[in-house]
Structure 1
Amino acid sequence: MLALPAVTLFAVVAIYPLVASVWTSLFDQSLLRSDRSYVGLDNYSAIWPDFLSRLGTTLVYSVLATAGPVLVGVTLAMLLNGRVRGRNVLRGLLMLPWLLPGVVVSFLWAWIFNDSYGVLDHLFELVGLPQVNFLGRPGTAMIAVVVAKTWNAFPWVMVVALAVLQTLPAEQLEAACLDGASRLQRFRYVLFPHIVGPVALVSMLEFIYNFGSFDTIFVMTGGGPGTSTMTLALSLYQYAFSSFELGKAAAMGVLWLVALSVVCAGYFLLNRKLESRS
């Protein structure tokens, strides 16, 4: 009886929408008409090529948008962990990108990368470099989106890495210095083993979040140019609200959920492995 309210809430919020989505994926259903017809697995076979293509794009974006914040965040955490003048002020300032909503960050970087009045192209013009349409070219659109996401997400990784670094006993670093270890050796044999576990968990969480990310790509590129930045989230949105095909959108969502479940399983296995070590 004590668990009944929580179980009921979970069933209403999570279980029912999931079952309804799976059921909808078996029908030819549209927002433009009230009736629907049972088609079985036809929706899955119809969207399967699109799913594979969008899955590849989603994986590329997720990997890059995870690696960027982790590299920048860990590097800044290492710098701020040392004796840097005004480091408390720097910590506060570096948290600002994380405090901004994703849509605001997306519009900000869309303005920076704009080929007509963007700040970046203006700087290129000042130094005599040719202007680049970052958001209008397939080769650079993904890079622009990843840069925006990296700027937005690195403070979270930085805070976690910095918190872990501050739990490292100073005696270990002092002993390594007395033994003649270089900075690279101190990082490799002292610092890195200390932070690798928490940073790995943060990386997995960030990857899971990026796997379902929607706002940054939707605002900056809309999945274009062409389909160069079309992820699973945007593809589902297009099926549902551009083509009005709810059955295919639900099928895409179910396949997306299966793929994301594999990623989440990897996170739980990693978490269990790290807990067993500790």
Structure 2
Amino acid sequence: MRKLTNGQFAWLLMAPGVALFLAIIAYPLVSALVTGFFEQSLVRPGRTFVGLANFADLLGGDFWPVLRNTLVFTIGASVIPFVLGYVLALALNSGLPGWLRGVFLFPWVIPAVVVSFLWLWIFNANYGVLNGLLGTEISWLGQPGTAMAAVIVTKTWSSFPWMMVMLLAGLQTMPKELHEAASVDGAGTIRRFRSVTVPHMKGIAGIVFLLEFIWNFQHFDTIYVLTGGGPAGATKTFAVAVYDTAFKGFDLGHATALGGLWMVLLLVLMVFYLRKEAS
């Protein structure tokens, strides 16, 4: 019996993983991308090749409002928890009691859907806690002017803890001698933060922020539970738009075309992340 070479043995070991990748990732992805070039419905058999017509329809209409909403949500739900997480990480690293870390982590360990229903109750126009505290009757989730802000607040509450933990881990790798040397040279708190902390944290802070940005760019559950993309499409992001087009409008052609455009934008973000990781 002929013995396998090292290369053949390596391919044999990789074969199950490659087969699994092709079956559950590569084939569905290629199939979905191909569907974007057809007119196809979930409720009618067969499909018709339409070329780039689906993409042209989207770029001439729904794509840009959805892109704007996605960017507003992604930027808001990334910047605010990043700043909040950074401030809390600095506070915890400066001597706050350790048990507070567990308290701050509490929102992160709750499932996103549960968090969404919690804030759905808080923002309720009739019996919500927020209106009760403010003495108002504002429909936070029913008005285009406030719905996106409410969604961003909800996502911020559930995502700042992990950013805090990651940034705190980075702060704790900083040699104390650097701050001591800066203090000896007469640098104050703000100067030490700008000259010592920020340069040391630049790498990990960039990766944490990019990861959160990428995750928010494809976030679905919080938005869908709170507003379903409404009111009047004010919170409809790519994730919600693809779902609605495919499973409410039964239009697989436009849904997969929109998903293809969405994937291209995500790939751009992934390139930035990989370059940041490599550096």
For the criterion TM > 0.5, the same-fold answer is yes
**Which of 106, 120, 128 matches 2:116?**
106
Alignment of 1:243-254 (within 5 A): 243-254=249-260
1:6-85 superposed matches below 5 A: 6-48=17-59, 49-84=61-96
Partner deviation per Cα, 1:206-248 (whole Å, 9 max, x = no partner): 1110000000110111111111111011111111111101111
- Quote the residue 1:259 is aligned against: 265
Q: Quick check: 162-171 or 31-40, which moved more?
A: 31-40
Distance in 2 (CA, whole Å) between partners of 1:109 and 1:241 is: 26
**Mapping for residues 1-278 of structure 1, pairs under 5 Å:** 1-48=12-59, 49-84=61-96, 87-125=97-135, 130-273=136-279
SS at match of 1:28: strand
CA distance in 2, matches of 1:237, 1:171: 53
SS at match of 1:136: coil
Partners of 1:44 and 1:260 in 2: CA distance: 17
Amino acid aligned to 1:244: F
- Give distance in 1, aligned partners of 2:58 and 2:176: 56
- TM-score (norm. length: structure 2): 0.93
SS in 2 for 1:108: helix
Question: Structure 1 counterpart of 2:83, which letter?
Answer: L
CA distance in 1, matches of 2:117, 2:187: 46
Q: CA deviation at 1:188?
A: 0.6
- RMSD across aligned positions (CA): 1.1
**What runs of 5+ residues in structure 2 fail to find an aligned partner?**
1-11
Shift of 1:47: 1.9
Give 1:178 deviation, angstroms: 2.3
Distance 1:76 1:194 in 2: 17
Q: Aligned partners of 1:104, 1:259: CA distance in 2, in Å?
A: 29
- Residue 29 of structure 1 aligns with an amino acid whose one-letter code is Q
User: Which letter maps to 2:243?
Assistant: Y
Please give the alpha-carbon distance, in whole angstroms, between the structure 2 residues aligned to 1:193 and 1:24: 47
The CA deviation string for residues 149-195 of structure 1, in whole angstroms up to 9 with x for no partner, is 11100111100111111111112112222222211111111111111
| Other-structure match for 1:276 | none
- SS of match in other structure, 1:37: strand
Separation in 2, partners of 1:5, 1:52: 41
Map of 2:7 onto structure 1: none
Shift of 1:64: 0.8
Scaled by the length of structure 1, what TM-score is found?
A: 0.93
| Alpha-carbon distance in 2 for matches of 1:22, 1:181 | 56
Q: Is this contact kept in 1: 2:126–2:137, CA < 8 A?
A: no
Letter in 2 for 1:50: D
Once the two structures are TM-superposed, the CA of residue 67 in structure 1 deviates from its matched residue by: 0.4
Gaps of 5+ in 1: 274-278
